């Protein structure tokens, strides 16, 4: 079965420093992968999506993620954190090819220190 | 913009009550989902619907049922609410089942349900 593991439940960075949120996946086929963000008291919003077109995926708000099949990873990065990036981030993997159900990771809360 | 709305932001119910959570999407999406979100557990799928009157159990369907009589509306029903169903409930929709590419899910703002 497909699964995702978010390696850190909490990450704390200083404003202006790089962000790295780690995600490893397990899949028996080449999966689709997403990152979603949830700001406090708001709904989830798609940050970016990988569907095998290109291994480096650029998303909104300066975030990007790289699909590494050999490492089964899909880490989320941003060169310089902004206070508005403080939120919870979820890594998501598809379950079966051509099927719309997904599996969510347990989430990583990003704290940005001024 | 796709809009997914949920009937209540906050709800307080008593143990044993029947609870209805309503979700409406306005973009003619075929798929609709109900999740519950608990700290440290991420989002867990309760039920999934891929067409009117069609539904499929998710990972944690026990104690819940769903109804989809119209394409735009997907209801989650707690037949007899219990305290362990206190949670944040999120509704989502996505475009179509019959696509090779996995579609983005659009989420509602959530309903925070407390069962006393």
| DSSP states of B23-91 | EEESS--SEEEEEEEETTTEEEEEEEEEETTEEEE-S--TTEEEEEEETTEEEEEESS--GGG-EEEEE
Interface with chain B: mutation pick from A43, A103, A109, highest number of B CBs within 10 Å: A43
- The answer to whether A29 contacts chain B (CB < 8 Å) is no
Chain B contact set for A90 (CB, 8 A): 42-43
- Give the pLDDT mean for B19-47: 94
Which structure tokens are listed for B116?
């006393």
> Tell me: the pLDDT tens digits for B70-101?
999 999 999 999 999 999 999 999 987 555 56
Greatest extent of chain A over all pairs of C-alpha atoms, in Å: 43
**pLDDT for B98:** 56
- Distance, CA of A37 to CA of A14 (rounded, Å): 19
Using CA of residue B88, residue A77, residue A91, residue B3, what is the dihedral sign?
A: positive
Residues 65-94 of A with CB under 8 A from B: 90, 94
Query: CA geometry: angle at B63 spanning B61 and B65, to 5°?
Result: 65
Chain B contact set for A10 (CB, 8 A): none
Nearest Cα residue to A64 out of A16, A9, A19: A19
- Distance, CA of B55 to CA of B57 (rounded, Å): 7
Inspect the interface and report whether the beta carbons of B105 and A102 lie closer than 8 Å: yes
> Tell me: the pLDDT tens digits for A77-90?
999 999 999 999 99
CB neighbour class for A67 (10 Å; exposed up to 12, middle 13-18, buried from 19): buried
- Give the pLDDT mean for B8-23: 96
Least CA distance to A52: which residue of chain B? B101
Question: Between A101 and B45, where is the model more confident?
Answer: B45
Chain A contact set for B58 (CB, 8 A): 101
Inspect the interface and report whether the beta carbons of A104 and B44 lie closer than 8 Å: yes
| Mean pLDDT computed over every residue of chain B | 92
């Amino acid at each position: 079965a497909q699964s995702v593991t978010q390696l850190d439940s909490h990450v704390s960075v200083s404003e202006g420093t790089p962000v790295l949120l780690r995600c490893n996946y397990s899949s028996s086929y080449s999966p689709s992968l997403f990152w979603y963000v949830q700001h406090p008291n708001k709904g989830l919003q798609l940050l970016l999506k990988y569907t095998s077109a290109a291994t480096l995926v650029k998303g909104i708000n300066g975030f990007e993620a790289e699909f590494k099949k050999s490492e089964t990873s899909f880490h989320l990065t941003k060169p310089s954190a902004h206070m508005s990036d403080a939120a919870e981030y979820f890594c998501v993997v598809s379950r079966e090819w051509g099927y719309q159900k997904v599996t969510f990771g347990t989430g990583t809360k990003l704290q940005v220190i001024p | 913009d796709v809009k997914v709305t949920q009937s209540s932001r906050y709800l307080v119910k008593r143990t044993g009550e029947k609870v209805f959570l309503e979700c409406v999407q306005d973009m003619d999406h075929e798929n609709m989902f109900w999740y519950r979100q608990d700290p440290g557990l991420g989002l867990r799928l309760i039920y999934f619907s891929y067409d009117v009157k069609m539904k499929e159990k998710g990972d944690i369907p026990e104690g819940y049922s769903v109804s989809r009589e119209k394409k735009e509306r997907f209801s989650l029903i707690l037949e007899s609410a219990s305290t362990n169903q206190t949670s944040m409930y999120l509704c989502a929709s996505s475009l179509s089942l019959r696509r090779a590419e996995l579609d983005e899910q659009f989420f509602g703002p959530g309903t925070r349900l407390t069962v006393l």
